[in-house]
Amino acid sequence: MSTHRIGDSPNRVGGVGRVTGSQQYAADIRLADVLEARLVTLDCARARIISIDTMAAELVPGVRLVMTAADLPQPVPRFGPQFADRPVIAVGETKYHGEPVAIVAADSKDAAEEAAGLVRVEYEELPAVFTLAAALDPAAPLVQDPALRRNDRLASTNVLREHPIGWGDVDAATADVVVENTYTFPMVTHFAIEPHTFMAAPDGDGIAVWSTIQHPNWLQKVIANILGLPLSKVRVLAPDPGGGFGGKQHAKLEPLVAFAALRAGRPVRLVLTLEQTFQAVRRASCEVRVRTGVNRDGGLVFEDIEADYLIGAYADIADRVVGKGSYPAAGPYNVPAVRIMARSVLSHTVPSTAFRGFGNPQVNWAVESNLDDAARAIGMDRLAIRLRNLARKGDAFIPFDTPADGDWEQTVRRAAELIGWDAPLPPGHGRGIAIGIKSGPTTGLSYSTVRLLGDGSVIVFAGTSDMGQGARTVFAQIAAQELGAPLDWVTVVMGDTAIVPYDQQTSASRSTVLMGNSVLQACRSIQAQLRAMAARLHGLDASQVSVDSGVVQLPGRELSVLEVLEPGLGPLGGELTGNGEVRKDAEPDHPLSGSAAFFEFNCTAVEAAVDEETGDIVIAKHVTVSDVGKALNPLQVAMQDEGAAIQGLGHTLMEQYVFDETGRIRNLGAIDYRIPTSMDLPLELRSAIVENEDGPGPYGSKGMSEGALLCVASAVGAAVRDATGVAIRDLPLTPERVWRALRDRPTP
Amino acid sequence: MSTRVEPIAIEMTVNGRLRALEVAPHHTLLDMLRDDLGLTGAKECCLVGECGACTVIVDGRTVDSCLVLAVEADGAAITTVEGLAADGVLSPLQQAFLDRGAVQCGFCIPGQLVAAQALLAGNPHPSVAEIQEGLAGNLCRCGCYGQITDAVLATAEADVR
Amino acid sequence: MHTFSYARPEALAEAEAILATHGPDARVLAGGTDLVIRLRDGTARPGIVVDIKRIPELRPSIREEAGVLVISAGTVMTDIAADERVRRWFPALAEGAAVVGSVQIRNRATLAGNVCNASPAADTAPALLVYGARVVAQGQGGTRRIPIDAFFVRSGVTTLARGELVTAIELRLPAGPMGAVHVRRTRRRGHDLASVTLCCGVDGSGVTRLAYGSVGPRPVLFVDESGVLADPAAPDEARAPIFERMFADASPSPRSLRASPEYRLAMLRVLGTRALRTAIERLALA
């Protein structure tokens, strides 16, 4: 029997399909009779649509459908996870470079492509705002129609919302030293290797929608709402996404494809190009002004933080990103006075959305870097200032939230030890250390069903999306552990709203904790049934029987699950079914509508050297340590943390959107938007974990996988500064930017 | 107005099996594998030869199949990820990818495996630097590069023993 | 991708005839690593694509003929980077070929294709200029041998005439010892287009040949016969004016996404200095 239980690292469940090529991603699914769709977009940031002539396109042989806003219900339905502001397709005006104005569906890709090129759009280019300065200019054109923002005092500005938060009295606080700086974080994109794919087909009196979506149940609600269908008539099929990172959380073009399929009466499939994914999802850029007050003894007195996030033309989930991401901006420190004002600023750019770290990396870059400035100003070691102020377990470091839920000092000290904080440095090298913290899920609802079949094998139904993080494996491990089945006798069914019970979403590193607990609960329910069954079979009281790790314990003897199950089910066979329901309700008075289920906590330390002639950064060593409570699958934990670290090196060193003077994206696609390759790694990358089994998840686990990305830039920037003496406050740290900073440094 | 061009008859061996079909001149090898032969292991992502998700082996050498016209492969022997496992048994490299945790979302993995297979065929005992250089044309956004390198090294070492 | 017809001539004369007939409506397909991208994005819209890989004379081959290394038009970067003779006699060309794209790209991309695209950023161009390569062009009018420096005009434009096809690149074997190196700047360490690509060669007679690309409409060659650059003992004051002249023709585009003109010009000097140092070291070992 397989011993692949909790704390082991069995091979990924679903891994064989991934190494043989048989795993079916959304774009690999072949439906008979499917129409291939192509989008029609305008090559400008913002335009008034005057007219759309589809006649030439419709004449292309094989074309079955050319659809514009005029072909949709009027007014054109709008949707969005926070505000119903995004139209199914552009209405009257395009508000970002790449917003579709028409969709073409044809028998073949060739015909669709040709026809898309023949749709004639007459339009007038309008001035676009695509920087914070331009969007905040009182004379700036308004991105959102004020009519969509009734009773909103900010409706006549491009500020969508303000998120003030704080405690103590910053204005009254006096500190020995105040350090003030402004930092910027670039606009970057998810660049999942799997481009977004959407497919829809009429399904009886309802509709089936396939999508690379992370939140199938959320999409189901969007589609049902827009089409006026009951949820039971909307089936969302969400094959495991080929990387999500937040970019596949919320509905994008599924409603459009759904309308196209219903209108065509046939399945319609739209596979985005990589370039189009750049025009579908991105991370908000950000400008952060930080004033840090510190006393000479190293004690933090106040943090005064203003963060403007440049979000896109439609809110998507971006405003939540701003509010939740900026919320723990002061860090995991006991700071007596904190004032944070974050603003989500609308612009004529691609709607920004969730992206691993959810708004935290932006403020972390600023506040952690400024903490280094504060340490330098008082002549204190940068590790020491962090340890001096770090919240200890139980400290209410954010007064109205979950107290510090880990022994964080252990994590920080481990990172310092692994980087050799006090060891002599080679000439030209520098070190940096930074801490990242992120508030976990604030609400949640995860149902699951577990079926223990007559032969002892198990099916788990869980609505999480396994986009690489390994949820499928972890749920299988939990079921195997609790019900005594070999791991390869456990099947985990996900991603089909017609079969799998409701899950709120796959985000915020929640699934191991929330869905994991739900699966555990379902298994425990089956264990209770087994106890009753064993008691009945052996003439005992259920209280005399216990079930643990797949073993049924009777007074004086042990039985396997199957030894109870088979006689218990009897000659007709059958199965035992357990349900799980884990709920974290909203707290109406809480600033985030809910306290953190847990905090993700990471400490990253870096040793780097800089080629002063070229500005090249060489990362000699990168250490990332996370407090995960308990690693249910240590290999997967390491993969997540190291992968997050590498992803973080992207926005740290090379990634950014580049715009032309009119707001068009100049570097669409893989040639001029660079992400790290296998040759761009630190010379040494090391991950480590702290396990105190003090998390709210199964077996003491906490959520993880975003933590190791949060403070990568801060640690690298600090190491570069340590190596060169120059503080750079804008990302990415491209060779050219570093070269300029070194060139311009004041001569001592 | 576009011209209608006659399809061209081609023949090739794909994963050891002779295939004869007709292709349009402007369709790529990737189009042909995925759409005509239903071999969806090779993935479509960047379509400019940068990401390597569509990597296949043509006559012993890796190519980005998005940059090869299907007609160019006339007469060639092609290996895709579907051809790596023999009779349902994973190749040592495939097994090592699973054992070493080289697979997260998996979308880039067919390309990585095919590239690594060809790398080892040409250089049975590569150094870490040679593996990193040899696989630099295969992007992994999950960031499994370290584990992928481990898997290739482990396969090479196992081969020595 | 738009439609086009496809020709796969099996004889050189046949290819020449097709090219002569169709003129600019025909595009030659060698490795396709550039052309297929352009066919897909619509920046190339030929009516006919002429695949030259089945022409016997153009099949991949690197051969030595009467003191000349002949690299056939079908020879790909992988083979050039790995070829013992190229590495011995023209190591900077091997280095340049070895950094073109990824393995997958180098397995398809040909040297002749790289030359015919005339990209200012072509990583093989500086070495070809330093080594004084000749482009062998054949058309219905006969065969021409064009010095590489006279071949490049600007991005995408060469002195190749209508109906002419590049059949090979020729490199005269060096008469004496030479030290040479190829260096470049990119935005990341993994494969990338260069923001500066540069080759420097120093020979035993004290002549320095330095060529650079990606800083203007075409790659540029500069020859210093004064011996100053090649002299490791020469003072910086003596070198500086030569460097200034050497890089005077650099005119990087302000529109480039890869780096600003200012950075490119600065890196040209850094890379030039470094490459010169390495070339002199290599000459000493030669």
For residue B140, give how far its alpha carbon lies from the nearest alpha carbon of chain C (Å): 13
CB atoms within 10 A of CB C161: 14
- Condensed to tens digits (0 to 9), the pLDDT of residues C15-48 reads 999 999 999 999 999 999 999 999 999 999 999 9
**Beta-bridge partner residues of B64:** B55
What is the rounded distance in angstroms from the CA atom of residue A44 to the CA atom of residue A130? Answer: 12
Q: List the structure tokens of C150.
A: 């006279």
Q: List the structure tokens of A181.
A: 């700086």
- DSSP label of A188: B
Count Cβ–Cβ pairs < 8 Å, chain A vs chain B: 167
Amino acid, res. B93: L
What is the rounded distance in angstroms from the CA atom of residue B77 to the CA atom of residue A528? Answer: 58
Contact A207, A323 (CB under 8 A): no
Instruction: Convert B59-97 into a string of H (helix), E (strand) and C (coil).
Output: CCEEEEHHHCEHHHHCCCEEECHHHCCECCECCHHHHHH
Chain A CB contacts of C38 below 8 Å? none
Give the β-pairing of C134-139 and A47-53: unpaired
- Condensed to tens digits (0 to 9), the pLDDT of residues B92-101 reads 999 999 999 9
**Beta-bridge partner residues of A558:** A553
Please give the residue of chain A at the shortest CA–CA distance from C196.
Answer: A614
Contact A108, A62 (CB under 8 A): yes
Nearest Cβ partner of B55 from C3, C47, C104? C104
Q: Which of A388, A301, A381, A316 is nearest to A346 (CA)?
A: A316
In angstroms and rounded to an integer, the radius of gyration of the C-alpha atoms of chain B is: 16
**Beta-bridge partner residues of C198:** C183, C212
Contact B69, C6 (CB under 8 A): yes
Amino acid, res. A137: D
What is the rounded distance in angstroms from the CA atom of residue A82 to the CA atom of residue A160? Answer: 11
Q: Which residues contact A114 (CB under 8 A, 6 or more apart)?
A: A60, B2, C2
For residue A667, give how far its alpha carbon lies from the nearest alpha carbon of chain C (Å): 8
Place of tokens 């409409």: C217
Q: Do A243 and B50 touch (CB under 8 A)?
A: no
CA distances, A681 to each of A185, A192, A314, A354, A686 (Å): 21, 18, 35, 25, 11
- Condensed to tens digits (0 to 9), the pLDDT of residues B29-74 reads 999 999 999 999 999 999 999 999 999 999 999 999 999 999 999 9
Q: Which of A446, A246, A475 is nearest to A361 (CA)?
A: A246
User: CA angle, C129 as apex, C127 and C130 as ends, to 5°?
Assistant: 65
pLDDT at B156 over 80: yes
Place of tokens 């909307």: A234
- Sign of the dihedral through C-alpha A43, A49, A51, A54: positive
pLDDT of residue A549: 86
Q: Which of A325, A95, A93, A191 is nearest to A657 (CA)?
A: A191
Contact A324, A706 (CB under 8 A): no
**Beta-bridge partner residues of A439:** A599
Residue ranges of E strands in A130-248: 159-167, 177-185, 197-203, 206-211, 234-237
Chain A CB contacts of C192 below 8 Å? 674
Q: Do A680 and C193 touch (CB under 8 A)?
A: no
Total residues belonging to chain A: 748
- Sign of the dihedral through C-alpha A251, A255, A260, A266: positive
Chain center to CA of A225? 25
pTM: 0.97
Q: List the structure tokens of A148.
A: 């969509």
Nearest Cβ partner of A677 from C2, C188, C263? C188
Q: List the structure tokens of A84.
A: 């119903």
Q: How many CA atoms, within 13 angstroms, populate the side-chain half-sphere of residue C50?
A: 27
Please give the residue of chain B at the shortest CA–CA distance from A196.
Answer: B45
pLDDT of residue B2: 44
> String of b and e for A267-292 (b: at least 16 CB within 10 Å)?
bbbbbbbbbbbbbbbbbbbbbbbbbb
Contact C12, C55 (CB under 8 A): yes
C144-153 long-range Cβ contacts below 8 angstroms, 24+ apart: C145/C170, C148/C115, C149/C221, C151/C115, C151/C118, C152/C118, C152/C125, C152/C218, C152/C219, C153/C118, C153/C218
- Condensed to tens digits (0 to 9), the pLDDT of residues C222-266 reads 999 999 999 989 998 999 999 999 999 999 999 999 999 999 999
Instruction: Convert A436-451 into a string of H (helix), E (strand) and C (coil).
Output: EEEECCCCEEEEEEEE
Chain C CB contacts of B63 below 8 Å? 104, 107-108
Contact A173, A249 (CB under 8 A): no
**Beta-bridge partner residues of B58:** B61, B78
- Supply the DSSP string of A352-400, one letter for each residue: P---TTTTHHHHHHHHHHHHHHHHHHHT--HHHHHHHHBPPTT--SSTT
Residues of chain C with pLDDT under 70: none
Nearest Cβ partner of B146 from A12, A194, A685? A685
Burial class of residue C262, CB neighbours in 10 A (0-12, 13-18, 19+): middle
Greatest distance between any 2 Cα atoms in chain C: 61
What is the rounded distance in angstroms from the CA atom of residue C168 to the CA atom of residue C56? Answer: 12
Q: Which of A114, A417, A706, A736 is catalytic?
A: A706
Is the ipTM here above 0.90? yes
Averages of pLDDT over each 10 residues, chain A, 748 residues: 76 96 97 97 98 98 98 98 97 98 98 98 98 98 93 96 98 98 98 98 98 98 98 98 98 98 98 98 98 98 98 98 98 98 98 98 98 98 98 97 98 98 97 98 98 98 97 97 96 98 96 98 98 97 93 96 97 97 96 96 98 97 98 97 98 98 97 97 98 98 98 98 98 98 87
Contact C212, C268 (CB under 8 A): yes
Contact A520, A698 (CB under 8 A): yes
Residue ranges of E strands in chain C: 5-7, 26-29, 48-51, 62-65, 68-72, 134-139, 142-147, 152-154, 157-158, 165-172, 178-185, 196-203, 208-213, 220-224
Contact A449, A578 (CB under 8 A): yes
Chain A CB contacts of C263 below 8 Å? 735-736, 739-740
Q: Which of A169, A166, A70 is nearest to A119 (CA)?
A: A70
- DSSP label of C34: T
pLDDT of residue B161: 60
Preferred mutation among A43, A610, A613 to probe C, highest tally of C CBs within 10 A: A613
Strand, helix or coil for residue B118:
helix
Q: Do B24 and C3 touch (CB under 8 A)?
A: yes
Chain A CB contacts of B137 below 8 Å? 677
- Sign of the dihedral through C-alpha A309, A313, A315, A316: negative
Q: List the structure tokens of A66.
A: 């050319």
Does A706 participate in catalysis according to the annotation?
yes
Give the H or E element holding residue B79.
strand B77-79
CB atoms within 10 A of CB A357: 28
- Sign of the dihedral through C-alpha A308, A310, A314, A320: negative
**Beta-bridge partner residues of A307:** A288, A342
Chain C CB contacts of A671 below 8 Å? 193
Measured in degrees and rounded to the nearest 5, phi and psi for residue C157 equal -125, 130
CB atoms within 10 A of CB A34: 17
What is the rounded distance in angstroms from the CA atom of residue A553 to the CA atom of residue C19? Answer: 85
pLDDT band at B159 (very low <50, low <70, confident <90, very high): confident
- Condensed to tens digits (0 to 9), the pLDDT of residues A52-111 reads 999 999 999 999 999 999 999 999 999 999 999 999 999 999 999 999 999 999 999 999
What is the rounded distance in angstroms from the CA atom of residue B11 to the CA atom of residue B75? Answer: 6
Chain center to CA of A630? 21
In angstroms and rounded to an integer, the radius of gyration of the C-alpha atoms of chain A is: 27
Nearest Cβ partner of A193 from B101, B141, B146? B141
Preferred mutation among B31, B64, B66, B130 to probe C, highest tally of C CBs within 10 A: B64
